Amino acid sequence: MNSLSRALFTTFIFLILLPISISGCSETRFVAHTIKSMGRDSGPRPYKLGSPYKIAGQWHVPRVEMGYNKIGIASWYGPNFHGKYTANGEVYNKHAYTAAHKTLPLPSVVKVTNLENGRFIKVRINDRGPFVGNRIIDLSYAAAKSLDMDKKGLAKVQVELMQEETLALFENIPGAPSYAQLFPKPAPKPSAINTAHRPTIKPDKQIFIQAGAFSNAKNANKARSALASFAPQDMVRVSQAFVNGESLYRVRVGPFSSKEQANQLLAQVAQYGHNHAQIIHD
């Protein structure tokens, strides 16, 4: 067999085995993968937000919503779109864990929970849609199958943007917004805490605002620096904790002498993008 024949034979075998390799990936392995592996075979992932657009008489305004958390109807799309281009220029792969959304940035990461059976997965948004009725997300075939909604076609779901994973994606994509751009410094407000007159805190009654918990220390320190731009620096801290054997970095402001005092700053912390910030006792 000459070199040309060998090359043609090798190419033929590769094309035969490729679809088998793709379809053989187990559902469990896909769910367990990190965000990098969720889009490993989907090609380039340029950042795209886009201008407001109108479809079927309705306007849609793409925007970055780091606190996005909505309930609605999910559908899925597959065979007729497999191999075609998505809204951000990727090649759609029905076997990858991706989805279409009308307004979230491309790409971004969301957690989708099937409220009918409790199953959930994380998918990467790389396309626009769906534009039918009250549907809020259009899943790939693989994602729909993992949520056990591929046969039914539709399901009631909760869609929540994963802030940490989305920020991690943005860090590696030219043109994507930075943390500082997403969370600009708010204007000082009269409600800021005056540290010079802060009462003494009793060790047995410490009250904090927990802005968030991160698995990545770098992201936690970014959040700490951002909060310290308007909160007293000596009250913003990062502490490490272990939950179910995993390391978490908690970003907190405090301690405060009373819940009322903590509430004065809670609104500013939430306004800064930490929508899940809450008052805790520790």
At 188, the pLDDT band (50, 70, 90 cuts) reads low
Q: In this predicted structure, what is the pLDDT of residue 244?
A: 67
pLDDT digits (tens, 9 = 90+) for 113-157: 999 999 999 999 999 999 998 899 999 999 999 999 999 999 999
Residues 6+ apart with CB under 8 A from 236: 224, 227, 228, 251, 252, 253
At 29, the pLDDT band (50, 70, 90 cuts) reads very low
Q: Residues, the chain, total?
A: 282
Percent of the residues in the chain that have a pLDDT greater than 70, as a whole number: 74
246 falls within a domain: yes
40 falls within a domain: yes
Q: In this predicted structure, what is the pLDDT of residue 193?
A: 52
State the sign of the Cα–Cα–Cα–Cα dihedral 137, 138, 144, 150.
positive
The residue among 201, 170, 174 whose CA lies nearest residue 183 is 170
At 12, the pLDDT band (50, 70, 90 cuts) reads very low
pLDDT digits (tens, 9 = 90+) for 84-100: 999 988 999 999 999 99
Per the CB < 8 A criterion, the answer to whether 106 and 177 are in contact is: no
CATH number of the CATH domain containing 64: 2.40.40.10
Shared domain check, 143 and 46: yes
pLDDT digits (tens, 9 = 90+) for 108-121: 999 999 999 999 99
Q: In terms of residue numbers, what domain contains 48?
A: 28-171
This prediction has a pTM of 0.56
Shared domain check, 197 and 163: no
Backbone angles phi, psi at 173, to 5 degrees: -120, 120
**Buried b vs exposed e over 44-71: b needs ≥16 C-beta within 10 Å?**
ebebbbeeeeeeeeeeeebebebebeee
Shared domain check, 44 and 134: yes
23 falls within a domain: no
Residue 159 to residue 138: CA distance in whole angstroms: 11
* Least confident interval from 98-112, 188-202, 229-243: 188-202
